[in-house]
Amino acid sequence: MQSNYQSISKDNYWIKNVRLETGFEYDEEEIVGTKTDLFCIEIEKGKIKSVQPNDRNSDAIDGKGFLMLPAFKDMHIHLDKTLYGLPWQALSPKRRTVKDMIAYEQEIIPELLKTSVERAEQLINLLQHYGTHHVRTHFNIDPTSGLQSLENLEKALENKKDSFKAELVAFPQHGVYYTDSAPLMKEAAQLKSVGFIGGLDPLSIDGNIEKVMDFTVQLALDHHKGIDIHLHESGESGMKTINYLIDKVLENPELQRKTFVSHAFALAYLNQKETEKIAERLAASKVGIASSVPFRGKIMPIPTLKKYGVNVLIGNDNVQDYWSTFGSGNMLQKANLIAELYGYESEFALSRTLEFATQNILPLNDKGEQQWPKIGDEANVVLVDAGCSAEAVSRISKVEVMIHEGNVFWKN
């Protein structure tokens, strides 16, 4: 991690004075607070071995009363082409369309690839500083990059393997057919490290929804991968693409639970009845939505999607790159933004909003019953300077410790 962290790696150890949530406080039937207490946590071989009363002696690491939460996950980011670590650069008003950006990437990628390993590691450091230990990252597959973007990203991830984990999405940023990326996509799909087949605006970039989606779906089926496509298109073409993908997943159940539409901005323009109809279809097909929040004024119908059981994943997307300058790398900040956007202001609602940083893991269930951590859970946790989940989300509390698969990273 960053230089102000100390790494502690042991097969078995205890952490004392760890604050865990134990239930909700009520005023009659209204939730007004969150109960917590201090515990000792035993970690062995990367898993939670036991949760005990807070009576350990000096052989335990001191958790200093910090609140223990599940470590954070960023489920939509581009580690391979950040400008983080380079001098500040705002967006150019000359590049307004995705095709403008494709042309720009074709110019700059050869130079950026020379330092992409180091810059990916710097961005990973930033994410870890904010408590993220796991990401789903897209990487460019295009004639300009070839497979080098993937190769450099894998070098950076190998250097961080003790503290960080990533799911990889082969992303045809320059289109499948708009540039000759199909052969490269087929090559990438054969690699064990690649978990998902990506895609990009099939109509506006490649000119044919069915041709591109059929190619993407078949590639995923042939190599037993998931699907995660970028869809910025709104209106009829955006909804047609979403519905076409849903139909394909229903035809091929093995794609359920591992197929996602990133961004899906078409959903932001629907009325309530239309939103509920597509939410039902997404939930029935187990197709998820993955996006950043907010994005250039578009407010996604997250409450309705969640109400119908759609898996909604959140990420930073861009962190200081030539597509956007607003990504901070902080998943607690994303949860805070969601709370503000949708009016999640109560103790209960704020505590539930933490799920967008942890990707659906919460210490307490809706009834206030403790459901995390459990014996046998992966020891992927953060210790934050907060009294409860609601406070952590509301105040974007500081992360003091991150533990990844049992490896402890503690600020000096």
- Over the chain, what HEC string results? CCCCEEEECCCEEEEEEEEEEEEEEEECCEEEEEEEEEEEEEEECCEEEEEEECCCCCCCEECCCCEEEECEEEEEECHHHCCECECCCCCCCCCCCHHHHHHHHHHHHHHHHHHHHHHHHHHHHHHHHCCEEEEEEEEECECCCECHHHHHHHHHHHHCCCCCEEEEEEECCCCCCCCCCHHHHHHHHCCCCEEEEEEECHHHHHCCHHHHHHHHHHHHHHHCCEEEEEECCCHHHHHHHHHHHHHHHHHCHHHCCCEEEEECHHHHHCCHHHHHHHHHHHHHHCEEEEECCCECCECCCHHHHHHCCCCEEECCECCCCCCCCCCCCCHHHHHHHHHHHHCCCCHHHHHHHCHHHHCCCCCECCCCCECCCCCCCECCEEEECCCCHHHHHHHCCCEEEEEECCEEEEEC
What does the angle CA 298 – CA 304 – CA 306 come to, to the nearest 5 degrees? 105
Q: What is the pLDDT of residue 6?
A: 61
Indicate the domain borders of the chain.
Answer: 5-65+362-411, 73-329
Termini Cα distance of the chain: 12
Spatial contact of 338 and 358, defined as CB atoms under 8 Å apart: no
pLDDT recorded at residue 134: 98
In this structure, which amino acid lies at residue 167? E
**What pLDDT score was predicted for residue 90?**
81
The reply to whether domains 5-65+362-411 and 73-329 share a CATH topology is no
Q: Which of 224, 300, 222 is nearest to 261 (CA)?
A: 300
R_g of the chain computed on alpha carbons: 22
Give the C-alpha separation, 127 to 193, whole Å: 21
Q: Are 77 and 316 in contact (CB under 8 A)?
A: yes
> Phi-psi region for residue 388, left (φ > 0), alpha (ψ -120 to 50) or beta?
beta
Q: Select from 193, 191, 251 the least CA-distant residue to 217.
A: 251
| pLDDT of res. 331 | 97
pLDDT along the chain (412 residues), means of 10: 57 94 96 97 96 85 96 96 83 81 91 94 95 97 97 97 96 97 98 98 97 98 98 95 98 98 95 98 98 80 97 92 83 96 97 97 98 97 98 98 92 60
Give the pLDDT score at 97: 85
- pLDDT value at residue 2: 46
Q: What is the pLDDT of residue 83?
A: 84
Phi and psi angles of residue 395, each rounded to the nearest 5 degrees, phi first: -100, 0
Whether the Cβ atoms of residue 259 and residue 226 lie closer than 8 Å to each other? yes
Q: What architecture is the 5-65+362-411 domain classified under in CATH?
A: Roll (2.30)
CATH number of 73-329: 3.20.20.140
